[in-house]
Structure 1
């Protein structure tokens, strides 16, 4: 639908044109009215309609002067003139200043429909042309962000200035919008589709505010807003906009608003600054408005503080998920306050999850499962995402233990597995284990195999050999020392057992590390 602005110095005639012509049936809505050219000029500057229908002869400022002044600022606005039968000389002048058509008084409905159809076609042509220009400008800006050759960068800047029809160099600001990957995935939206929806929404939102912005897709799920001058939107407005975006589009968007202005040739500097601001999302969380003052950088590399491992393991063992989750959240807040590097945060979280799995006797022995854990953790965009994954692992561990503790035999097997995990390096026999749970050796063998799918001997061997593989990474340790550390007095027996289970000798395994 296109907007039209009506101008006529005869008030009754203006009301008739506004109220009795069926504009909506022609795909037009009336955006405003004025009784003279000067008043119309002030309103048009604010409303910026697609079409202006104006009388030719008016006091203060006539229709021809109005068209001339408007066209100097908004060359895409289409003009249609109202004129009487005895004013054809004015019609010639109107056509000379670029009017699409004219209407003779008194107005004829069929004539109005014909002229408006012509005007709408012209408006669509203008929109298509502007869309093509916007796409070209966007592509030029994207190239400028990544271009390394100075002469090529200067040529791109000149091409951009030509398209903007700006002779004087301007100052520009940038805002980066980032789609939160996890929320888009939950909404069933790809990042490419999400970016397209985000841009379409913002085009309408900005058009209502009469702001002309270039959209530059910089990375997957990331959209830059490039504006001449500062993007004067308050933080409260940004907060409201991000909330509206999430309600409408179904995914979360973060905005890094750079309040610094740069010349066109310094677009790369501006982009680097704004991206650094956006990285603060990792600590602050998604769906936030981030300004330069929100960015906190630590001098040097902050050491990772110790985590309360024993208290955490005890809380899980006692099925106290609230206490375990509280320890995770408090530690996560400490890491965020210290701005600990993302890699260190991910490594800590992966370590917690791996120890949880060991605690419930579900260690990750398959390489692909370990790789999946690492990939999913390093893909997290915020510390909140990492925290959620650790808390999910806590919930799984606690539920697993609850189920086992409700089953008497499962509880006994859990007790035996815990004893093996903690004392694998010591001499362990079936009799010593059965004495701990007051069961006969044969019955203990039976329920252990039933609950785990393996014999006690096989489980002990797996634990010892997994520990041996960790120790083989230390070149200072001899194979015989490693054998004794994992509970084997005979080095030759350890080597033969390792070869049987791993397909290579300990030394061959070490060479492949």
Structure 2
């Protein structure tokens, strides 16, 4: 559906044209009117029309002068003239300003509808041509940003697509860091009309601006707009550049991805003034120890120490590539969830009641600042639970038992010793633990030891006997029986681990039988047995 602007100084003729035509039937959704050329230009400024139907002879500004102004200002609308027999001499001038058609007064409804059909056809052709040109322009600019182009080839392509020489077409360049949703890109392009193109990748969106715009001011406005919703770093390169320089400038902005990701809070910066940071090496053991420390502090309900340790933890991660950083934060999230939440039904219900942080939010965050704030809220929710529960002596006793069993994984559960640790009688401790967890202390201890065994068995370098001793089973055969009967691998690797134990026993059995046969001397009967 299109929009039409009717321009006629005679009020009766204007109202007749407006009211007697079935505009919707002819593909027109809105009809605007103006009594003179000046008001027509104001209307175009406020409500861009696709078709302008104007009288030629009007006081002040004629229809020809109005058409010339429309063309000069670059309004993409089609023009139709209304004329009487006595001013037919104007028709030649009308077509010199690219008028699509004209209507002779007095005209009929059928003549107007035929004219509108012709104009709609011209608009559709223009839209197709415009779409093709825009598509070619986008592809050309994308290639200029992605890879180094030969200057002569670029010059030829720009002349063909933009109708301009390479040196005449200049662009400012800005980068918005983080994941930029399609609706945000649309809002940016809608608000800032001078944005010629947006190139999007997973962690950075590069904006090309018309050369006449101030890059610094536009970058500030975009950064300020995004700050309220989801803060992001925004960088820019000074100056306006021809297309053969765009790749170099885009690379400078892309090389600032790690720097921008770790800005706390996200800043507005000039890439020309920043040194590129190399990605930091990742040390698994250090982060594992830090995760364990945070877990211990959270479960103790020590808020200030927990938040300070988390702050230090994020500081240690600074400089990691965004994906590596997100992966490590996810590891912390899952470590706390598996160690604390899944082992306590009360805590699980507490966390589920108010979803502070979901797994996908970690990888969807735009920067380390957002991840840290989300993780802080997640820890504060968990800490609130432990602070409340630590006021309950029964919960504290159960927590102490769990902590003791986790720290003494290689030992059997000694009820008498545990009862002495928490200052309760053995029988009361048994019933208290069963009521809180739904499991006996022995069942909980066995489950925890087998979970630890499952983790160790995933590493094929660890022998079954070594794993058995590490989790407190001196009798390897008994460990094998307990493990094969259990189902303690939450990630579904239990069957593989059990098969590994089974095959080790089969191999040992075969070796034992071979030794027996060698000792007795291999005879035909034993040979048949092994076949």
**TM-score (structure 1 length as normaliser):** 0.65
Q: Name which of 410, 413, 419 aligns with 1:434.
A: 419
* Residues 212 and 397 of structure 1, relative CA distance in 2, 3 Å threshold: closer
Q: Deviations over 1:25-69 (max 9, x none)?
A: 97344699667xxxx8x9999999756677768999987688568
Q: Secondary structure at the match of 2:262?
A: helix
Q: Name which of 218, 225, 234 aligns with 1:234.
A: 218
- Are 1:360 and 2:358 an aligned pair? no
Alignment partners' CA distance in 1, 2:178 and 2:111: 46
For 2:86, the equivalent position in structure 1 comes to: 86
Q: Name which of 191, 198, 208 aligns with 1:205.
A: 191
Alignment partners' CA distance in 2, 1:300 and 1:166: 41
How far off is 1:417 after superposition? 1.3
Q: Deviations over 1:384-443 (max 9, x none)?
A: 342244335424533553575466544322221111122334565222223333444444
| Greater CA drift, 278-287 or 450-459 | 278-287
How far off is 1:132 after superposition? 4.1
For 1:386, the equivalent position in structure 2 comes to: 371
Alignment partners' CA distance in 1, 2:61 and 2:93: 15
Q: Secondary structure at the match of 1:301?
A: coil
How far off is 1:261 after superposition? 4.3
Which blocks of at least 5 consecutive residues in structure 2 are unaligned? 345-356, 487-496, 506-531
Which blocks of at least 5 consecutive residues in structure 1 are unaligned? 182-193, 365-371
Listed as ranges, the matches of 1:6-405 within 5 Å are 27-29=30-32, 71=71, 74=74, 76-81=76-81, 85-102=85-102, 117=116, 121=120, 122-123=122-123, 125-142=125-142, 158-159=156-157, 161-169=159-167, 170-175=169-174, 180=179, 195=182, 197-198=183-184, 201-202=187-188, 204-206=190-192, 209=193, 211=194, 213-214=196-197, 218-219=200-201, 225-229=207-211, 231-232=213-214, 233-239=217-223, 241-242=225-226, 257-259=236-238, 261-265=240-244, 267-277=246-256, 282-284=261-263, 291-292=270-271, 297-298=276-277, 301=280, 316-321=298-303, 323=304, 326-327=307-308, 330-331=311-312, 334=315, 338-342=318-322, 345-346=325-326, 348-350=328-330, 352-353=332-333, 356-357=336-337, 360=340, 362=342, 377-395=362-380, 397-398=382-383, 400-401=385-386, 404-405=389-390
The total of aligned residue pairs comes to 467
Alignment partners' CA distance in 2, 1:252 and 1:19: 52
How far off is 1:127 after superposition? 4.0
Alignment partners' CA distance in 2, 1:202 and 1:373: 28
* Residues 198 and 280 of structure 1, relative CA distance in 2, 3 Å threshold: same
For the pair shown, which has the larger CA radius of gyration, 1 or 2?
2
Q: Deviations over 1:178-207 (max 9, x none)?
A: 7857xxxxxxxxxxxx52x4565455435x
For 2:525, the equivalent position in structure 1 comes to: none
**TM-score (structure 2 length as normaliser):** 0.63
Superposed CA RMSD: 5.7
